[in-house]
Amino acid sequence: KWRIVFPDNERRWKDWKQASPFYSGNRIQTTKYTWFTFLPKNLFEQFHRLGNLYFFFLAVLNWFPQVEVFHREITMLPLIVVLLASMIKDAVEDYRKYQFDKTINSSKTRVYDK
């Protein structure tokens, strides 16, 4: 699907109606997450890191009584702390990106015409 751009402001409205209705606009969006996708996307990204997979493997392994070294909850503690810290950091970064995008998108622009 192609979009049609009319740089000349003297075009008629019927030409504009024939243009592609799928034009997305000039909004800038640099955020990664939405409210609904934050948890699944963030967990997916977190478990792509080798260290997090290692701690997850230790936590799962410790749930078997034959291999249990520490209490089950204590083994999960480092993983939960690291995941929560990373989630908070990612949420703060994404919120700052959202605020910056909102500032940029609402700023006034000057359009030069012939």
Tokens 């000039």 belong to which residue? 26
| Residue 17 within a domain | no
Q: Say how many C-beta atoms besides its own lie within 10 A of residue 112's C-beta.
A: 4
Domain containing residue 84: 31-106
Structure tokens at 21: 């209705």
How confident is the model over 77-105, as pLDDT tens digits? 888 999 999 999 999 999 999 999 888 88
Domain count, the chain: 1
- Dihedral sign of CA atoms 52, 58, 60, 71 in order: negative
pTM over 0.85: no
